[in-house]
Amino acid sequence: MSHTLTPTQHAILSHAIDHREGRVDWFPDHIKGGARKKVLTGLMQRNLIHAEGEAWHVDDAAYEALGRAKPSPVEPAPDSLDTERDEAQTAPQRQPSRLRANSKQALVIQMLERPEGATIDQLSHATGWQKHTVRGTLSGALKKKLGLKVISEKSADGERLYRIAKTDHP
């Protein structure tokens, strides 16, 4: 599949590959605001970039569009004897490292990890967020992005409680 790139698209993809390990986070000075969004949308629709969390990364087709060979990934040495480090690398991580310990999202997680869990009202009061924002955080950031299992149950008084389910690893 042949892609004809504009000079701006070419510059953005080249910079991402040459300087940012494939991450699209640099734009020419004259590309701001809505123009950036338009360029990103165009690249995404042509399958030249994809989203990973909140970041954009080049796809294999971007290398082809630039007439470049995709670099082969570096594989670890097969004779690694450091099993503790290997297990730590393969174990699923509950939270990405970019989660700040003093953030409102971390506060929500902390409250949901309590044995009694938390209500929407409690989370809303603690964070200062509106109730719909709390619900969105539960379903979007915690469930979808972080992969946490948030469970909901009604208490004896009929109020809904939310908790993070404890996962047992063998």
Domain tally, the chain: 2
DSSP 118: B
Residue 81 located in a structural domain:
no
CA atoms within 13 A on the CB side of 169: 7
Residue 134 located in a structural domain:
yes
The confidence score (pLDDT) of residue 118 equals 92
CATH number of the domain that residue 129 is part of: 1.10.10.10
Given 17, 46, 65, which residue is the final one in a domain? 65
Residue 97 located in a structural domain:
no
132 or 147, greater pLDDT: 132
Query: Tell me: the pLDDT tens digits for 63-76?
Result: 888 887 777 665 55
Residue 45 located in a structural domain:
yes
Cβ-in-10-Å burial (0-12, 13-18, 19+) of 123 comes to buried
Query: Tell me: the pLDDT tens digits for 107-137?
Result: 888 899 988 899 999 999 998 999 999 999 8
Q: Which two tokens stand for residue 151?
A: 């469970």
The confidence score (pLDDT) of residue 96 equals 46
**Structural domain range at position 18:** 7-65
The confidence score (pLDDT) of residue 162 equals 93
Residue 72 located in a structural domain:
no
